[in-house]
Structures are given as structure tokens and as C-alpha cells.
Structure 1
Amino acid sequence: MIASVSGTVGRIGLDHLVVEVGGVGMLVHTTPATAAAQRHGADARLSTSLVVREDSLTLYGFADEQERVVFDLVQTVSGVGPRLALAMLAVLSPEDLRRAIATEHIATLTKVPGIGKKGAERLVLELRDKIGAPSGAATTTPAPADAAAGWRAPVTEALLGLGWNAKQAESALDTVQAGLGPDPDVAVALKSALRELGR
């Protein structure tokens, strides 16, 4: 089990990083917010979870240990794989996820693309006694990415990757754009769009 990765960020994608560790570039799948918080050439340390399949070894990385714990835990539920678990953490913080499950708030859970009412009910049923009570009320805001021209394209691509269609993504961006300014950070824009889509 690879519990963490520390090294220099060699490449940043919308939902992944390449971290250089001892001369080896390790591909680490992350949430868009975690990827956007990194800087090329900077040092990074991520808690990780290695998912072993018959034909692949896939490494998932997280900003902190709480995200990793929740990622592993939600996969104990029938029908939840690593991609859906990562989508949950892209939309909800660990605290928000704990709160939704502990309070049986189905509407919050169904904000995640790929989780319908039955899936949300199954999460509550199987995890409410395991996931623990939320410790705080606030959701932490990820460090913003460098502002870049054409911010809408990467944010739209990230939303499509999380399961929304192009029309939903564009509509959400149109709604939040006025409050973001002319050249917003990608991570901030993505967070605002996710909040709008979750309504």
C-alpha cells in the first residue's frame, strides 16, 4: 500500500498530477480542486490510496488524510468504485459528506453525478454507523490556481468529467460568471460552478 507521495510536481492535469519521486514520475488521480491547488515545479505531499485491479494499478491522491479515509470508506458500499468515490470528494468535502450521511440528507448526496436516490439511500444505510459525526461546519476552500486566459474551457472540461453534460456546465458558468470577475482562478470558478449545479 502506498500511503503517501512526496516529490516535485512535474505535470498538472484537470484531475491528475505527475509527481516526480526519486526519478520516477508517478501519475496520481485527484479531484480538480486538489490538482488546481498545486504548482508546477513545487514540492507536493499527498495522502494516497492504491487501487489494485487485475489489469491496472491506479494511484489516487488527496490534499489530506481525512479525504483519503473517506475515499476508502465509501468504496465499501456496493456499487461505489474509485471514480465515483473521487467524484463525491470533488463535490462534497469530507465534513459535508459525513454530515449528509449522518443526518440522512439524501438531497445533498444526489448532487454527486452518478448517485441517484437509491444510491444515496444505500450510502446512508451502509455508512451512517461507520463514517462518524462531522467535526466542523465549514468547508475548506482549496488554494486558488493561477488565473489563466480561457478559464471556462478547463472548468467546463472538469465538470464534464464529473458527469454533467455540456448544457448544464455552460448554464452554471453563465450564472456564476458575473460574480467571479473577468479573469477568475480556475479552482474558484470550479467551486462556484459545483455549488450552482448542486442547488
Structure 2
Amino acid sequence: MITHIEGKLVEKNPTDVVVDCNGVGYFLNISLHTFSQIPNTEKVKLYTQLLVREDSHTLYGFSTVEEREVFNLLISVSGVGASTARTMLSSLSPELVRDAILSEDIVTIQSVKGIGTKTAQRVVLDLKDKIIKVYGSLPNSSKSSNTNRNEALSALETLGFARKQAEKACDNVLKNHPQATIEEIIKQALKNL
């Protein structure tokens, strides 16, 4: 198993790079996220994942270990292949993919070209527990904002809004303003309902 490649950057394109490692040129498929992270210096180090299929051996390169982990989680989902996972990581940062799965944000996942509603739901269903085991819950959801969220939800339900709509509105507010007070959450959520 090849875990990383360190060497001279020979060629850099938005979808792939060639790294010369002691006279051997390795062709690595990359995401746009990795492309933006690779410095234009001569020496480069990329974390890799080798996918072996009946008809090909394909090497993927990543700027961080976390991006590689998210890629591996994505390709473990039925219906999500390597090219779809790479497209996801080109459209969204690894952190955004992880946070979208944790917060069950189907809309963000669906915004990626080639991912429909069923695939987005399957990604969330299959990966949420795995991501919680590895990374824990959402990093920006502290206990105080969780309490504030629950109280704001209760208030919105009392005002007659459906729980699902109220949850979505509150989560959108907390995504942009994690330390919002109960009043701020309610005011912003009402604007979106």
C-alpha cells in the first residue's frame, strides 16, 4: 500500500499531478481542493489512496490525511464511486462534506454535480455514525448553543411552526452564528420560515 508520495512536482493540472520520486513519475488524480492546496514549489508531499479494480490501478492524491479519510468514507457508500467522491471534494472542502453529513444537510450534498436526493440520503445514513466515531459531533455545536437551539425550537413550535421546518431554520442560523443567543436564533429563524 502506498500511503504517501514525496518528491519533485513535475506537472500540476486541476485534476491530476505528476510527482517524480527518485526517477519514477507517479500520476495522481486529485480534487480541486488538493489542487488549490499544492504549493508551486518544486518539492511536494501528497497522501495517497490506491484503488485496484479489475481493469485499472488508480492512484489518488490528497493534500491532507483528513481529505483522504473523507474520500475513503465516501467511496464506501453504495452508488458513490471514486469519481463522484473526487467531484464532491472538488465542490466542497473535506470539512464541509463532514459537517453536511453530521448535520444531515441533504441540500449541500445534493449541490454536487451527479448526486441526487437518494444518493445524498444514503451518504448521510451510511456515514453519519462513522464520522461521529472518528471526529465526534459538529465542532461548532457547543452545549450552550445546543441548549439555546432546543429552547428556540420549543418556542417556534409553540408559535405553530412544524418541527422539521423549525429545526432546519435553527440549524441554518447556528451554522452561520454558532454562539447566537436564544433570541437571536428565534429572530433569524423567523425570517427564514
TM-score where L is the length of structure 1: 0.65
Give 1:93's aligned residue: 93
Give the 5 Å matches for 1:24-173: 24-38=24-38, 42-132=42-132, 133-135=137-139
Gaps of 5+ in 1: 138-199
Quote the Cα distance in structure 2 between the aligned partners of 1:55 and 1:124: 30
Give the residue type in structure 2 aligned to 1:32.
L
RMSD: 1.7
Instruction: Indicate the structure (1 or 2) with the bigger Cα radius of gyration.
Output: 2
Tell me, what secondary structure is at the counterpart of 1:86? Answer: helix
Quote the Cα distance in structure 2 between the aligned partners of 1:31 and 1:124: 21
Give 1:8's aligned residue: 8
CA gap 1:44/1:136 in 2 versus in 1, 3 angstroms: farther
Structure with the larger helix share? 2
- Percent identical pairs in the alignment equals 42
Cα distance per residue 1:135-173 (max 9 Å; x no partner) = 469xxxxxxxxxxxxxxxxxxxxxxxxxxxxxxxxxxxx
Quote the Cα distance in structure 1 between the aligned partners of 2:24 and 2:114: 34
Tell me, what secondary structure is at the counterpart of 1:95? Answer: helix
Gaps of 5+ in 2: 142-193
Tell me, what secondary structure is at the counterpart of 1:131? Answer: helix
For these two proteins, the number of residue pairs brought into alignment is 137
